[in-house]
Structure 1
Amino acid sequence: MTNLQESLTRELLRTNRSGAYSCSTIVDCNTRKYHGLLVVPVPELDNENHVLLSSLDCTVIQHGAEFNLGIHKYQGNVYSPNGHKYIRELDIEKVPSTIYRVGGVVLKKEVVFQHYENRILLRYTLLDAHSQTTLRFRPFLAFRSVRQFTHENSTASRDYEEVENGIKTCMYAGYPTLYMQFSKKNQFIFSPYWYRGIEYPKEQERGYASNEDLYVPGYFDMNMRKGESVVFAASTKKSATSSLKKLFDKEVEDRHPRNNFLNCLITAAHQFHNRRGEERYILAGYPWFKCRARDTFIAAPGLTLSIEEVEYFEKVMKTGIHALKQFYTGNESTEPIYEIDKPDVPLWCLWAIQQYEDKVGKEKCAKMYGAFLKETMKFIESNKHPYMTVEDNGLLFVDGGKEKAMTWMNSTANGHPVVPRTGYIVEFNALWYNALRFCAEMSPSDSKDAQHYEALAEKVKESFVKTFWNQYGYLFDYVDAGEDEQDWSVRPNMIFAAALEYSPLDQSQKKSIIDICTRELLTPKGLRSLSPKSSGYNPMYVGPQAQRDYAYHQGTAWPWLGGFYLEACLKLFGRSRLSFVERQMIGYEDEMFQGCVGTIPELFDGNPPFTGRGAMSFAMNVAEILRTMELLEKMNYNTEGTK
Structure 2
Amino acid sequence: MATFGSQTCGRLEEGATREWLVPDGLGGYAMGTVSGLRTRRYHGLLVVARHLGLASLDAVVTLPSGASVRLATHEWADGTIAPHGHELLAGFELVDGLPRWRWRIGDVVLERELAMVHGQASVAIVHRLLSGGPVSLALEALCTWRDVHGSRTGAEPLLVSHVADGFTVEDAYRVRGPEFQPAGAWWRGVYHREEEARGLTPTEDLWFAGSFHASLSEPGDTAEVSAWAGSAPPPASLVIEAAHRRNRRFAPLELAADAFLVRTPSGPDVVAGYPWFGAWSRDTMLSYEGLFLSTGRADEGRELLLAYGKTLSEGMLANTADTGSVEYNTADGTLWFLHAVDRHVTTTGDTDLAHALRPALLGVIDHHVAGTRYGIRATEDGLLTQGADGEALTWMDARVDGVPVTPRRGKAVDINALWVNALATLDHPLHRTARGSFARQFPAPEGWLYDVLGDSTLRPNQLLAWSLPHAPLEPDPVVLRRIGDALLTPLGLRSQAPGTPGYHGTHRGTGAERDTAYHTGTVWPWLLGPYATAWHRLGVEVVADIDAHLGEYGLGSISETADGDAPHGATGCPFQAWSVAEVLRASHL
* TM-score, normalisation: structure 1: 0.85
Corresponding position: 1:101 with 2:104: yes
For 2:271 and 2:578, the matched residues in 1 are separated by 10
Q: Following TM superposition, by how much is the alpha carbon of 1:158 offset from its aligned partner in structure 2, in angstroms? A: 5.1
- SS of equivalent to 1:304: helix
For 2:213 and 2:355, the matched residues in 1 are separated by 61
For 2:581 and 2:325, the matched residues in 1 are separated by 19
> What is the aligned partner in structure 1 of residue 36 from structure 2?
28
Q: Following TM superposition, by how much is the alpha carbon of 1:316 offset from its aligned partner in structure 2, in angstroms? A: 2.1
> What is the aligned partner in structure 2 of residue 173 from structure 1?
none
Corresponding position: 1:355 with 2:348: no
**CA deviations over 1:612-635 (Å, ceiling 9, x no partner):** 10111111110000011000xxxx
Q: 1:534 aligns with which of 491, 500, 513?
A: 500
Supply the AA of the counterpart residue of 2:558: I
Query: Which of 312-321 and 610-619 deviates more?
Result: 312-321
Q: Following TM superposition, by how much is the alpha carbon of 1:10 offset from its aligned partner in structure 2, in angstroms? A: 0.4
Aligned 8 A contact 1:264 1:592 in 2:
no
Q: Percentage identity across aligned positions?
A: 29
1:399-438 aligned at under 5 Å gives the runs 399-400=387-388, 402-438=389-425
Q: 2:267 aligns with which of 276, 279, 283?
A: 279
> What is the aligned partner in structure 1 of residue 122 from structure 2?
119
Higher normalized helix content (fraction of residues): 1
Query: Which of 617-626 and 369-378 deviates more?
Result: 369-378
For 2:320 and 2:402, the matched residues in 1 are separated by 25
Query: Which of 11-20 and 464-473 deviates more?
Result: 464-473
Q: 1:235 aligns with which of 217, 220, 228?
A: 228
Aligned 8 A contact 1:397 1:425 in 2:
yes
Corresponding position: 1:494 with 2:462: yes
For 1:609 and 1:332, the matched residues in 2 are separated by 34
Query: Which of 356-365 and 341-350 deviates more?
Result: 356-365
For 1:12 and 1:529, the matched residues in 2 are separated by 27
1:382-401 aligned at under 5 Å gives the runs 382-400=370-388
Q: Following TM superposition, by how much is the alpha carbon of 1:168 offset from its aligned partner in structure 2, in angstroms? A: 1.8
Go from structure 1 to structure 2 and tell me whether the alpha carbon gap of 1:93 and 1:519 turns closer, same or farther (over 3 Å shift).
Answer: same
Go from structure 1 to structure 2 and tell me whether the alpha carbon gap of 1:532 and 1:125 turns closer, same or farther (over 3 Å shift).
Answer: same
Q: Following TM superposition, by how much is the alpha carbon of 1:328 offset from its aligned partner in structure 2, in angstroms? A: 4.1
Aligned 8 A contact 1:426 1:468 in 2:
yes
Go from structure 1 to structure 2 and tell me whether the alpha carbon gap of 1:434 and 1:597 turns closer, same or farther (over 3 Å shift).
Answer: same
Runs of at least 5 residues in structure 2 that lack an aligned partner in the other structure: 1-8
Q: Following TM superposition, by how much is the alpha carbon of 1:200 offset from its aligned partner in structure 2, in angstroms? A: 0.8
Q: Following TM superposition, by how much is the alpha carbon of 1:520 offset from its aligned partner in structure 2, in angstroms? A: 1.6
- SS of equivalent to 1:469: coil
RMSD across aligned C-alpha pairs, in angstroms?
A: 2.3
**CA deviations over 1:471-500 (Å, ceiling 9, x no partner):** 222221113xxxxxx212111111111112
For 1:376 and 1:273, the matched residues in 2 are separated by 26
Aligned 8 A contact 1:105 1:127 in 2:
yes
Runs of at least 5 residues in structure 1 that lack an aligned partner in the other structure: 42-48, 171-175, 441-452, 480-485, 632-643
Aligned 8 A contact 1:494 1:513 in 2:
no
For 1:78 and 1:331, the matched residues in 2 are separated by 46
> What is the aligned partner in structure 2 of residue 637 from structure 1?
none
Supply the AA of the counterpart residue of 1:556: T
> What is the aligned partner in structure 1 of residue 6 from structure 2?
none
Q: Following TM superposition, by how much is the alpha carbon of 1:7 offset from its aligned partner in structure 2, in angstroms? A: 0.4
For 1:567 and 1:266, the matched residues in 2 are separated by 19
Corresponding position: 1:520 with 2:491: no
> What is the aligned partner in structure 2 of residue 553 from structure 1?
519
Corresponding position: 1:610 with 2:552: no
Corresponding position: 1:592 with 2:550: yes
Q: 2:19 aligns with which of 1, 5, 11?
A: 11
Aligned 8 A contact 2:182 2:210 in 1:
yes
Q: Following TM superposition, by how much is the alpha carbon of 1:327 offset from its aligned partner in structure 2, in angstroms? A: 5.6
Corresponding position: 1:619 with 2:577: yes
For 1:329 and 1:201, the matched residues in 2 are separated by 40
Supply the AA of the counterpart residue of 1:348: W
For 1:351 and 1:342, the matched residues in 2 are separated by 15
Bigger Cα Rg: 1
Query: Which of 94-103 and 231-240 deviates more?
Result: 231-240
Q: Following TM superposition, by how much is the alpha carbon of 1:71 offset from its aligned partner in structure 2, in angstroms? A: 0.8
Supply the AA of the counterpart residue of 1:474: W
1:51-450 aligned at under 5 Å gives the runs 51-63=52-64, 64-94=66-96, 95-131=98-134, 133-153=135-155, 155-157=156-158, 159-163=160-164, 165-170=165-170, 176-182=171-177, 186-226=178-218, 227-237=220-230, 239=232, 243-256=235-248, 263-324=251-312, 326=313, 328=315, 339-361=327-349, 363=351, 366-367=354-355, 369-400=357-388, 402-440=389-427
Go from structure 1 to structure 2 and tell me whether the alpha carbon gap of 1:14 and 1:305 turns closer, same or farther (over 3 Å shift).
Answer: same
Aligned 8 A contact 1:112 1:251 in 2:
yes
Aligned 8 A contact 1:22 1:35 in 2:
yes
**CA deviations over 1:403-444 (Å, ceiling 9, x no partner):** 11111001101211011111111111111111112211xxxx
Go from structure 1 to structure 2 and tell me whether the alpha carbon gap of 1:564 and 1:245 turns closer, same or farther (over 3 Å shift).
Answer: same
Go from structure 1 to structure 2 and tell me whether the alpha carbon gap of 1:253 and 1:312 turns closer, same or farther (over 3 Å shift).
Answer: same
- SS of equivalent to 2:278: coil
For 1:54 and 1:365, the matched residues in 2 are separated by 44
Aligned 8 A contact 1:323 1:337 in 2:
no
Q: Following TM superposition, by how much is the alpha carbon of 1:343 offset from its aligned partner in structure 2, in angstroms? A: 2.0
**CA deviations over 1:505-532 (Å, ceiling 9, x no partner):** 355xx33431331222122222111111
